[in-house]
């Protein structure tokens, strides 16, 4: 395609909101979301935006970030301990500096291509050329298109012709709420699950005073919220990102009215929270935090799940999206897996083949089912 040029910038503030909207439209986790990421001192990540121009006009915007990728992210047990032991002597063992196309925190990657673009495949080809040039300039050997949906696969499968391998990523989970009441939702579950859930909820509320608040920001209790988040982060088996205290403050400032904090108090002590985003008929349950001693005792994972379902029904929310990992409880409670795909390419052909083999061997999402359940 003649006349296509590109530019890579290091801040979303250098893109006008009108230019962003002309490419992405009204998507969840859009302009303000990326603005929040930039403002929150996330030292592990460096954010960029690749802009393609045709005839002087913006035709495509691609969010990028640079971070270390730990190849043992999905490992557990002895082999992970061995790798970590080796890292005491070789700090970057099984670690690759990586250029990601997507977001470290988004529910899925997004392709910013104007709808009136005549040939999206040519833009993908230009995008790959730009990414390779940028990665070579920054001496980053590994490129990943992170967590793209099935709808994007027909277009992104073109990457395989450019030396990229496609693998299944961790799927997301969504609950479609075709119900008029919480009772109808319970009735949709298997009898054993329904009975167990009723028992947990009844026992939780009978043991002590549980109070639930829904608020737009938590700046006045940020230390309590952040400590709960750190509890869950350190308890998790699969770690990619570490949010900062600033993130939980900035997200409310920038994303109102989309931000909702669900706060769970037991005997007036904050014991759990969900940070959620609301977009039209979609609720994204984004980040959680637990006081595990209290949450296990009061089954707060399940208390929060049922409260959020009922809140969605009362507020005409059709889809409750509950993220990656913890698949066993989520699917038992009515969630459906949403396939996501990653495309990657290492500049070294041998390493590219080795990583593909390793990913196929280790990425078995349903094996990670019990992380974080309170």
Instruction: 197-203: list long-range contacts, CB under 8 Å, 24+ apart.
Output: 197/302, 197/306, 197/333, 200/299, 200/302, 200/303, 201/299, 201/302, 201/303, 201/306, 203/299
Whether 295 contacts 273, CB under 8 Å: no
Rounded CA-CA distance 145/12 in Å is: 19
Contacts of 262 (CB under 8 A, 6+ apart): 212, 213, 214, 273, 274, 276, 304, 307, 308, 311
Check pLDDT > 70 for residue 28. Answer: yes
Q: What is the pLDDT of residue 373?
A: 42
* Arithmetic mean of pLDDT over the chain: 89
Is residue 362 classed exposed, middle or buried when 0-12, 13-18 and 19+ CB atoms within 10 A define those classes? Answer: middle
Rounded CA-CA distance 229/244 in Å is: 10
Check pLDDT > 50 for residue 143. Answer: yes
Check pLDDT > 70 for residue 297. Answer: yes
Query: Torsion angle of alpha carbons 103, 106, 107, 108, nearest 10°?
Result: -30
Check pLDDT > 70 for residue 250. Answer: yes
Strand partners, 278: 283
4-171+340-367 against 173-337: fold identical: yes
Q: What is the pLDDT of residue 371?
A: 38
Helix (H) or strand (E) run with residue 297 in it? helix 292-298
Superfamily of domain 4-171+340-367: Gcn5-related N-acetyltransferase (GNAT) (3.40.630.30)
Strand partners, 41: none
Which CATH class, in words, describes the domain spanning 173-337? Answer: alpha beta
Greatest Cα-to-Cα distance within the chain, rounded to the nearest angstrom: 70
Which tens digits make up the pLDDT trace of 251-289? 999 998 999 999 999 999 999 999 999 999 999 999 999
Q: Residues 187-210: what's their mean pLDDT?
A: 94
Check pLDDT > 90 for residue 37. Answer: yes
Helices (H) and strands (E) in the chain, counts: 13, 15
What residues does each domain of the chain span?
Answer: 4-171+340-367, 173-337
Which tens digits make up the pLDDT trace of 97-130? 999 999 888 899 988 887 765 677 888 889 999 9
Question: pLDDT category, 374, cuts 50, 70, 90?
Answer: very low
């Amino acid at each position: 395609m003649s006349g296509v040029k590109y530019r890579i910038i290091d801040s979303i503030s250098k893109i006008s909101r009108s230019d962003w909207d002309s490419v992405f439209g009204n998507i969840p986790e859009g302009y303000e979301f990326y603005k929040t990421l930039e403002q929150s001192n996330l030292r592990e990540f460096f954010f960029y935006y690749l802009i393609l121009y045709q005839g002087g006009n913006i035709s495509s915007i691609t969010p990028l970030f640079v971070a270390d990728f730990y190849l043992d992210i999905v490992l557990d047990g002895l082999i992970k301990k061995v790798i970590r032991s080796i890292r005491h002597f070789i700090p970057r063992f099984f670690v690759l500096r990586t250029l990601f196309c997507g977001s470290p925190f988004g529910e899925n990657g997004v392709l910013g291509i104007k709808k009136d673009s005549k040939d999206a495949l040519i833009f993908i080809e230009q995008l790959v050329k730009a990414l390779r040039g940028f990665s070579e300039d920054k001496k980053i050997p590994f490129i990943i298109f992170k967590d793209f949906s099935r709808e994007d696969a027909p277009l992104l499968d073109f990457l395989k012709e450019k030396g990229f391998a496609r693998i299944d990523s961790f799927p997301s989970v969504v609950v479609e709420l075709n119900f008029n009441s919480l009772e109808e939702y319970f009735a949709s579950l298997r009898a054993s699950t329904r009975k167990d859930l009723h028992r947990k909820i009844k026992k939780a509320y009978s043991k002590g005073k549980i109070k639930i608040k829904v608020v737009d920001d938590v700046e006045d209790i940020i230390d309590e919220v952040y400590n709960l988040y750190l509890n869950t982060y350190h308890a998790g088996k699969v770690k990619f990102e570490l949010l900062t205290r600033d993130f939980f403050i900035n997200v409310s400032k920038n994303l109102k009215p989309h931000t909702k904090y669900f706060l769970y108090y037991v005997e007036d002590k904050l014991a759990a929270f969900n940070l959620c985003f609301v977009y039209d008929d979609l609720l994204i349950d984004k980040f959680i935090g637990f006081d595990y001693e209290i949450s296990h005792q009061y089954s707060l994972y399940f208390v929060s799940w049922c409260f959020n379902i009922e809140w969605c029904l009362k507020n005409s929310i059709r889809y409750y999206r509950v993220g990656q990992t913890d698949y066993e409880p989520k699917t038992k409670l009515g969630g459906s897996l949403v396939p996501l795909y990653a495309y990657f390419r290492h500049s070294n052909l041998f390493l590219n083949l080795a990583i593909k083999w390793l990913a196929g061997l280790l990425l078995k999402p349903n094996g990670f089912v019990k992380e974080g359940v309170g």
